[in-house]
Structure 1
Amino acid sequence: MKRRTFRVESTLTGRTVSEALAAELGLSHEAAERLVGVGAVYVAGRRCRDAKARLAQGQVVTAVLEEGGESSLAEAPAPAPSLRVLHEDEDVIAVDKPEGMTAQPTEGRVGDSLVDRVGEYLKRPAGLVHRLDRETSGVTVFGKTPQATTALAEEFREGRARKRYLAAVGPVELPSQGTIDLPLSKDPSRPGRWRATRAANGIPAFTEYRVLHAGRDFCLVELLPQTGRTHQLRAHLTALGAPILGDKRYGGAAKAGGLEAPRCLLHAQALELAHPRTGAPVRFEAPVPEDLSRFFAAAGVVVPSGPIRPLDVAARG
């Protein structure tokens, strides 16, 4: 991430945010206003969306100029498909997050995240309680009231929410099912990556898995994370020698068996938790997108559906 920070001194006191950005960063006034407009400017630690706001002496201004290797002033990506609502009632809305969309606004841009899209749909803020990576598709739930959001967040925090992910990975010999018990820690040699190893002082992470197809070219796996760590499934599978196909950050192949893997082929297919109002168990399922379903079709494997089945007791531990 590339950012510039400056403190408002006497020469900038009373000037507008866009005027100060233009003066300090050498931007045109149009570019400075666009930087504010996309949400890439912070004043006194808070995102500023008013280019004409007047600055006070001593305030600190930060501009995110580049994020993820892309300029904050780059054109926004093409609009994603219309929001696919899987379930909605007075307390909860469950949607199918498309791949390529962030769960929430990033430091360098607002307006094109899932929480923005759901908020637009509801015409009020949505309560985000869990997150999927940008390239991961699938079930995401939001609370529609503060009480529902709190209850849903507790389901995840206490580990009561049960999740089923599906992934296509490189060919590897694995038991038909098992548990991955490897702590996660940031990889100091590769920024943005996590490593799954006992050699570092990491945070506990547990993933149960079931092999759905073991082929010469690729494997299909069902993943049942028991903890919800950043990049947990991606790092755990990489540690087993089976990075997810299309996962450039973790070394996943771009194709397998003659099929393209245009993104990290990981899909959050099902989620089970207690309804925040009634406490009754509910399950939401998201159809497998075409890029991953091609691998299921090629392998002749039926996509799992229905209740999330735990592993056999003998496969745990």
Structure 2
Amino acid sequence: MRCEMKAGFLYVHLDKRYDGWRVEDVLTTALALPAAFSHKLLAAGHVCAGKKTLCRTDELKAGSRLTLKDPTPVSRLFELADIGVEGLEICYEDDHVLIVNKPAGVIVHSDNPSERTLDGLVAHYYRETGQVLPILHAHRLDKPTTGAVVYAKHGFVARALDAELVRHRMARRYVAVVFGAKLARSQTVDKPIGRDRHRSSLYRVSSTGKEARTHIVVRATSPVQGEHLSLLSCALETGRTHQIRVHCASLDVPIVGDEEYGGQRIRNWPAPDAIALHAREVSFYHPYDEQDVVVKCPLASDWTKFLRQEWGIEDDLW
């Protein structure tokens, strides 16, 4: 199968594997689209082979080319993108997916059109590169967290990536520096997370919260100013808001710089708008290239300097 996205249409070239498949099965299995969304596409006449509008039970032949019209509107952000792209680092891009390295102090999305957001930076990048696209982030990072954020370039791949997240098949790995050396070398934190009723916009471990699991490995420790610092590698199994921050705080090892959850800066690091948490790597199965994609987003220079001074570790360790 080969897929091309042009001017709001997805062109799907079917190879011999799909000979005799029904249209509905190609949409829901090969293209990983939700059944309800596929039915809406078909009902709207947005799935064609040549000049023929297809229905869900039509059988296809090897060599067929399907044309799917994307109903996703281009975001108004694209029209208003005039904030510049300074600080936006592109880590991966193809016709379907964009992965950027989010800087600290930038929120991914906001309902306030005047606020500087990652969505806005991406919209400006699209406009500067001549790409008229919707702005569709597949997931978010907290404002002070840096690292990999995945964007879908059209509505079809957005829904496929959503399915990857729901099935826990999109792996996200983080690097964190925390206070304390009380952790086992390797452990899984399985503690539900809910809103903190006493602190607006913050979260806490709560028996009535949503399930949350974080896998933690200690990479290095060192004493500093009467305490210890630990360098962690963290992998998300679920994706709750503030998950790693809350789980680390619950273990009494708050993230350096994360004052909202008990962590302070050390030696003036990290910057006031950042915490020592970086989304280092994201991996997923690309439904339209039919291969695994693994993307690493580099650490900023202040990170690499700190790791080198503290533990003699270079960024390429991960």
Q: TM-score, normalised by structure 1?
A: 0.67
User: Does 2:121 align with 1:112?
Assistant: no
Deviation at 1:79, TM superposition (A): 6.4
Deviation at 1:276, TM superposition (A): 2.9
Aligned to 1:81: 86
Aligned to 2:231: 220
Aligned to 1:60: none
Are the aligned partners of 1:164 and 1:224 in contact in 2 as well (CA < 8 Å)? yes
Aligned to 1:313: none
Given candidates 246, 249, 252, the residue that maps to 1:241 is: 252
Q: What SS does structure 2 have at the residue aligned with 1:260? A: coil
Deviation at 1:122, TM superposition (A): 1.5
Q: What is the letter of the counterpart of residue 240 of structure 1? A: L
Q: What is the letter of the counterpart of residue 242 of structure 2? A: H
Are the aligned partners of 1:168 and 1:266 in contact in 2 as well (CA < 8 Å)? yes
Given candidates 211, 215, 227, the residue that maps to 1:208 is: 215
Given candidates 275, 278, 301, the residue that maps to 1:267 is: 278
Are the aligned partners of 1:253 and 1:261 in contact in 2 as well (CA < 8 Å)? no
Structure 1: which 5+ runs fail to align? Answer: 1-47, 50-77, 307-317
Deviation at 1:167, TM superposition (A): 0.7
More deviation, 266-275/276-285: 276-285
Distance 1:159 1:226, change over 3 A: same
Q: What is the letter of the counterpart of residue 166 of structure 1? A: V
Using the alignment, how far apart are the partners of 1:292 and 1:196 within structure 2? Answer: 28
Q: What SS does structure 2 have at the residue aligned with 1:216? A: strand
Are the aligned partners of 1:166 and 1:222 in contact in 2 as well (CA < 8 Å)? yes
Aligned to 1:31: none
Alignment deviations for residues 97-136 of structure 1 (CA, whole Å, 9 cap, x no partner): 11111111x2334452111111221133222110011111
Distance 1:172 1:79, change over 3 A: farther
Using the alignment, how far apart are the partners of 2:243 and 2:204 within structure 1? Answer: 9
Q: What is the letter of the counterpart of residue 294 of structure 2? A: R
Structure 2: which 5+ runs fail to align? Answer: 1-75, 78-82, 128-132
Are the aligned partners of 2:304 and 2:314 in contact in 1 as well (CA < 8 Å)? no
Using the alignment, how far apart are the partners of 2:214 and 2:305 within structure 1? Answer: 25
Given candidates 125, 130, 133, the residue that maps to 2:134 is: 125
Aligned to 1:96: 101
Alignment deviations for residues 284-305 of structure 1 (CA, whole Å, 9 cap, x no partner): 1111112322331121234465
- Number of matched pairs: 226
Using the alignment, how far apart are the partners of 1:234 and 1:279 within structure 2? Answer: 34
Aligned to 2:313: 301
Are the aligned partners of 1:210 and 1:223 in contact in 2 as well (CA < 8 Å)? yes
Q: What is the letter of the counterpart of residue 221 of structure 1? A: L
User: Does 2:184 align with 1:180?
Assistant: no
Give the share of equivalent positions with the same residue, in percent: 29
Are the aligned partners of 2:84 and 2:124 in contact in 1 as well (CA < 8 Å)? no
Question: Alignment RMSD, CA only?
Answer: 2.1
Q: What is the letter of the counterpart of residue 184 of structure 2? A: P
Deviation at 1:145, TM superposition (A): 1.6
Using the alignment, how far apart are the partners of 1:79 and 1:240 within structure 2? Answer: 40
Distance 1:111 1:206, change over 3 A: same
Deviation at 1:164, TM superposition (A): 0.7
Using the alignment, how far apart are the partners of 2:114 and 2:93 within structure 1? Answer: 25
Using the alignment, how far apart are the partners of 1:121 and 1:138 within structure 2? Answer: 17
Using the alignment, how far apart are the partners of 1:187 and 1:278 within structure 2? Answer: 42
Deviation at 1:194, TM superposition (A): 0.9
Q: What SS does structure 2 have at the residue aligned with 1:296? A: helix
Q: What SS does structure 2 have at the residue aligned with 1:210? A: strand
Using the alignment, how far apart are the partners of 2:147 and 2:296 within structure 1? Answer: 8
